[in-house]
Amino acid sequence: MSGTYDLKRSGDQFMFNLKAGNGEIILTSERYTTKAAAENGIESVRKNSPNNDRYKRLANKNGDPYFTLTASNGQEIGRSETYSGTAAMNNGIESVKKNGPDAKVKDNT
């Protein structure tokens, strides 16, 4: 089963989650002011997700690893949840690389 982009409203803004085939959220977008901007964000994930150089591997203040996906201009497109360890985070990145380019959009707006 392939992944999906879950496009939805968040108050008066729009955002999306990239979900793996098992339904688990693997990337959450920023908030966008328009639906068209959110759809452009999805296209940016499709374009940038296969490129390993677009991932920033980070840790929160508690030391829990997470990652962000950035566009070619360095702007953050989306971020992951926090993970229990580096191996789990790397699995999350591989899942975004696998699902990002071809996931279908589920429009819940």
Could you report how far apart the first and last alpha carbons of the chain are, in Å?
Answer: 23
The CATH number for 26's domain is 2.30.29.80
Q: 81: closest CA among 93, 99, 97?
A: 93
Tell me the whole-structure pTM to 2 decimals: 0.94
Q: Looking at residue 54, what is its pLDDT? A: 97
- SS3 at position 85: coil
Q: Compute the radius of gyration of the chain from its Cα atoms.
A: 13
Per-residue pLDDT of the chain (109 residues; tens, 9 = 90+): 689 999 999 899 999 999 999 999 999 999 999 999 999 999 999 999 999 999 999 999 999 999 999 999 999 999 999 999 999 999 999 999 999 999 999 999 9
Output the pLDDT for position 1: 65
CA gap 109, 65 in Å, rounded: 31
Q: Which two tokens stand for residue 18?
A: 């990239």
Q: Which domain holds residue 17?
A: 4-107
According to DSSP, residue 54 is labeled G
Number of domains making up the chain: 1
Task: Say what the pLDDT of residue 87 is.
Answer: 97
